[in-house]
Amino acid sequence: MAIVGRYAARRGLQFVPVFFGTTFLVYFLMFALPGDPLANLSVGKQANPAYLAYLQEQFNLDDPFFVQYLKYLGGIFTGDLGQTFRGQSVAEIFVERFPVTLKLALTAFVFEALLGVGIGVWAALRKGRFIDNLSLAGSLILISIPVFVLGYVAQWLFGVKLGWFPVAGISAGWPMAYILPAIVLAALSLAYVLRLTRQSLLETLNSDFIRTARAKGLPPWTILRKYGLRNSLIPVVTFLGADLAALMGGAVVIEGIFNVPGIGQQLYSSIRLGEAVVVVGLVTALVIIYLLVNLLVDLLYGVLDPRIRYE
């Protein structure tokens, strides 16, 4: 256990360079975006010089890039994550919007994991039969359809035409309002998980130790559970772990289509407005979540396969 703790601490140290790298890179990219952010925001037919001067000063927009970046970092270390041009603090935005995105991502994750692994296992056990072919064809279709097409079609069919789910918005609350966007969000990964599970399980089921177990007369269910799944799930867990974080970052399109007020929506509008501070803050938070989840996945390997050591 001590080894695991040391391993986790060492991995934790890696967060430091990643944090600086991400903030720097994203800040730089936002800085390099064409167009003066104030032009996006405030310049109308009456450019109000007083208002522009105020914003220039508030957001250090006159400073060169490095000065801006250092001021931003200085703010972070004193607990100030910055604010939007209209004075809403990034911390506040995060607190308000993150739970929404997390709910959406976790719901999608549940669909992805349960359906993906479930159908994958089923297909592997019925290799070459109807359900196997159906799932392979189905997943191929899901992989090939762009997610926004899937989103609009699902919204139109299940929301507008059939009325099974709310068309958009989260006022119906969890789970009703989240089911449709979560399924669409999970669709692509679900297809991958399904194929990965099927393939990996098939390989395992063909290996020698399974044949031995069968020869010893163990019941098929025990073989599948104790030897088959456990050995074939490592690549699937790796994928799922990485994907949980990706689901949160990838919700931009889905949150737009289904009008879910999460992080993705905020990122989209902040990028449009050139609010570097907001984008950097949210992206950095997403990156750190990604790292944490990955660390968790790595630690989970040991549970699935005790042969794996943390060094």
Partner 1 sequence: MFTKARKKFTIGGVALASALLLGSCSSSGTDTDASSSPSAVSGGTYSIAIEDPQTIVPTDCYELYCQQVLSATYTGLFTFEAGESGAYEVTPSELTNSVETTDDGKNWEITLNPGFTFTNDEKVTASTFVDTWNYTANGGNGQQLGFVFSPSYLNVVGYEDVSGPKTTGETMSGLAVAKDDDLTIEVTLEKALSPEIFQNFLAGPQIMPMPTVGLKDPKAFDKQLIGNGPYMMAEPRTGQEIKVVKNPDYAGTAGLADGVDFRVYENKQTMWADLQGDNLDLIPDLPNNALSSASSVLGDRYVNDPGALSYSFYGFASDSKTFKEKDVRIAISKAINWSEINEKIWFDTRSTATSFAPDTIPGGGTDLCGDKCVFDATAAKSLLDGAGGLPGGSVEIGVIASDSKDTQTAACNQLQTNLGIKCSLKTFSGFGEYLDFLSSGDAPDNFIYALGWVADHPTIQAMITIFESSNFANDIQYSNAEVDRLIAEGNVASDPTTQQQKWVEAEQLILEDFYAYPYQMRNTVAGWSNRIDNVVVNPLGMINIPKISVTEQS
By the rule CB under 8 A, 270 interacts with partner 1? no
Q: Which of 253, 235, 248 is nearest to 145 (CA)?
A: 253
Q: Measured from the CB of residue 177, what is the shortest distance to partner 1 in angstroms?
A: 10
How many residues form the binding site for partner 1 (CB under 8 A)?
A: 55
In this chain, which of 265, 286, 291, 293 binds partner 1, going by CB under 8 A? 265
**Which 274-303 positions form the footprint of partner 1 (CB under 8 A)?**
274
CB of 154 to partner 1, least distance (A): 11
Q: Is 131 in the site for partner 1 (CB under 8 A)?
A: no
Interaction between residue 195 and partner 1 (CB under 8 A): no
Interface positions, 151-180, toward partner 1 (CB under 8 A): 152, 155-156, 159-160, 163, 166-171
**Nearest distance in Å: CB 232, partner 1:** 40
Beta carbon of residue 243, minimum distance to partner 1 (angstroms, whole number): 24
CB of 50 to partner 1, least distance (A): 4
| Closer to partner 1 by Cβ: residue 71 or 230 | 71
| Residue 187 C-beta: closest distance to partner 1, Å | 18
HEC per residue, the chain: CHHHHHHHHHHHHCHHHHHHHHHHHHHHHHHHCCCCHHHHHCCCCCCCHHHHHHHHHHCCCCCCHHHHHHHHHHHHHCCCCCECCCCCEHHHHHHHHHHHHHHHHHHHHHHHHHHHHHHHHHHHHCCCCHHHHHHHHHHHHHHHCCHHHHHHHHHHHHHHHCCCCCCCCCCCCCCHHHHHHHHHHHHHHHHHHHHHHHHHHHHHHCCHHHHHHHHCCCCHHHHHHHHHHHHHCHHHHHHHHHHHHHHHHCHHHHHHHCCCCCHHHHHHHHHHHCCHHHHHHHHHHHHHHHHHHHHHHHHHHHHHCCCCCCC
Using the rule CB under 8 A, is 60 a contact of partner 1? no
Q: Please give the residues from 5 up to 34 whose contact with partner 1 meets the rule CB under 8 A.
A: 34
Complex with partner 1: residue 38 or 223, whichever CB lies closer: 38
Sequence-distant (6+) residues with CB within 8 A of 78 are none
Nearest-approach distance from CB 226 to partner 1, in angstroms: 47
Range 78-117, binding partner 1 (CB under 8 A):
84-88, 96-97, 100
| Contacting residues toward partner 1, per CB under 8 A | 34-51, 53-55, 57-58, 84-88, 96-97, 100, 152, 155-156, 159-160, 163, 166-171, 255-259, 261, 265-266, 268-269, 272, 274
